């Protein structure tokens, strides 16, 4: 894997490349992945509308860049944590500068739960991207609801495939309700411009992958390893919040968006005092 220093919207970034595949990471902006290109040069991540990067920690997620791949931890929705503190919308990490370590890993402190969060990156010549995660709790321990938040571009003719057999749950409203029917048909159903929807796999299932197939033969497959990852969220947006049509595959350590609610339901990653938890994601790109 080759690494080079670049700029993204005037902010220092790191481009990793191997075998024609490349990924660009911005440590100073939540370690966001702002580009993921396969060996043909196809961009898989939403690029947004180029709006300025807002440095105010109080910036709402939907007012930020709405592009790339963010890490949501220890919650997605604004929520009270096990420390009694409030974690902001989409968590502590996405708009915080991360530190670089000599081995190339990036890390940040999560103040709302007094924990440390770390992510390593690896890229193979065959287009396989591996993200390795580790969370270390402080003396009080922590309940952690982490979710990846990659905004993958969605094109006409795409087919979304999920590792899910049971009906999905519609969590777009304040209260989750079952979404009858086949999961694949549900997430591939036509949506009008300006619409948005969020689903989760059934809490009793343990999905392990999600995939986008392009009609020209290209594909992206997201897989995850580790007992910590227990469920999958799927966010579909046709320019209601994002500026492009996107699908976000959100493997998560909790069910569903609020760490407070997930803790109450015992559907969350519990890390004991001073303990650690690890998991990983793998992105496999197939070029057309």
Q: State how far the Cα of 101 lies from the Cα of 142, in Å rounded to an integer.
A: 24
pLDDT at 63: 82
State the average pLDDT for the chain: 96
Which pair of tokens denotes residue 267? 């559907």
Per DSSP, the three-state class of 48 is coil
DSSP 8-state assignment for residue 255: S
Q: Concatenated DSSP letters for 165-202?
A: -SPEEE-SSSS-EEE-S-HHHHHHS---TT-EEEEE--
Tens of pLDDT along 11-57?
999 999 999 999 999 999 999 999 999 999 999 999 998 888 877 77
Q: State how far the Cα of 197 lies from the Cα of 85, in Å rounded to an integer.
A: 29
Are the beta carbons of 251 and 281 closer than 8 angstroms? yes
Q: Where are the alpha helices (DSSP H) in 82-169?
A: none
Listed in sequence order, the residues at least 6 apart from 4 whose beta carbon sits closer than 8 Å to its beta carbon are: 14, 15, 17
| Segments making up each domain of the chain, as ranges | 2-286
At 41, give phi and psi (nearest 5°).
95, 0
Residue with tokens 């604004």, as numbered in its chain: 78
Q: Where are the alpha helices (DSSP H) in the chain?
A: 183-188, 259-264
Tens of pLDDT along 164-207?
999 999 999 888 999 999 999 999 999 999 999 999 999 999 99
Tens of pLDDT along 229-269?
999 999 999 999 999 999 999 999 999 999 999 999 999 99
Residue 76: burial class (beta carbons within 10 Å; 0-12, 13-18, 19+): buried
Q: State how far the Cα of 215 lies from the Cα of 6, in Å rounded to an integer.
A: 33
Pairing of strands 21-26, 2-8: unpaired
DSSP 8-state assignment for residue 92: S
Are the beta carbons of 109 and 136 closer than 8 angstroms? no
2-286 fold: Beta-galactosidase; Chain A, domain 5 (2.70.98)
> pTM for this structure?
0.96
pLDDT at 174: 82
Task: Tell me the pLDDT band of 6, cut-offs 50, 70 and 90.
Answer: very high
Which pair of tokens denotes residue 161? 């495939």
Q: State how far the Cα of 116 lies from the Cα of 107, in Å rounded to an integer.
A: 7
Are the beta carbons of 150 and 122 closer than 8 angstroms? no
- Residue 134 vs residues 14, 222, 227, 228: alpha-carbon distances, Å: 21, 18, 13, 10
Percentage of residues in the chain having pLDDT higher than 90: 90
Are the beta carbons of 17 and 2 closer than 8 angstroms? yes
């Amino acid at each position: 894997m080759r690494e080079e220093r670049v700029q993204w919207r005037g902010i220092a970034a790191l481009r990793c490349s191997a075998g024609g595949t490349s990924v660009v990471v911005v440590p100073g902006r939540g370690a966001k992945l702002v580009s993921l290109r396969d060996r043909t040069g196809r961009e898989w991540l939403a690029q947004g509308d180029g709006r300025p990067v807002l440095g105010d920690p109080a910036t709402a997620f939907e007012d930020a860049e709405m592009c790339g791949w963010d890490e949501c931890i220890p919650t997605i929705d604004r929520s009270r944590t096990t420390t009694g503190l409030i974690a902001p919308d989409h968590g502590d990490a996405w708009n915080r500068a991360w530190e670089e370590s000599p081995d190339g890993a990036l890390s940040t402190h999560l103040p709302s739960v007094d924990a440390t969060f770390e992510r390593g990156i690896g890229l193979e010549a065959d287009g396989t991207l591996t993200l390795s995660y580790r969370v270390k709790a402080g003396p009080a321990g922590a309940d952690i609801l982490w979710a990846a938040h990659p905004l993958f571009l969605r094109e006409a003719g795409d087919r979304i495939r999920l590792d899910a057999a049971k009906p999905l749950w519609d969590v777009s409203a304040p209260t989750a309700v079952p979404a009858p029917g086949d999961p694949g048909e549900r997430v591939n159903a036509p949506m009008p411009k300006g619409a948005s929807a969020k689903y989760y796999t059934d809490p009793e299932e343990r999905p392990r992958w999600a995939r986008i197939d392009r009609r020209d033969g290209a594909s992206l497959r997201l897989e995850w390893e580790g007992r910590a990852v227990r469920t999958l969220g799927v966010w579909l947006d046709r320019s209601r919040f994002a500026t492009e049509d996107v699908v976000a595959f959100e493997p998560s350590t909790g069910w569903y968006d609020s760490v407070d609610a997930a803790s109450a339901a015992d559907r969350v990653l519990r890390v004991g005092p001073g303990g650690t938890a690890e998991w990983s994601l793998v992105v496999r790109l197939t070029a057309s």
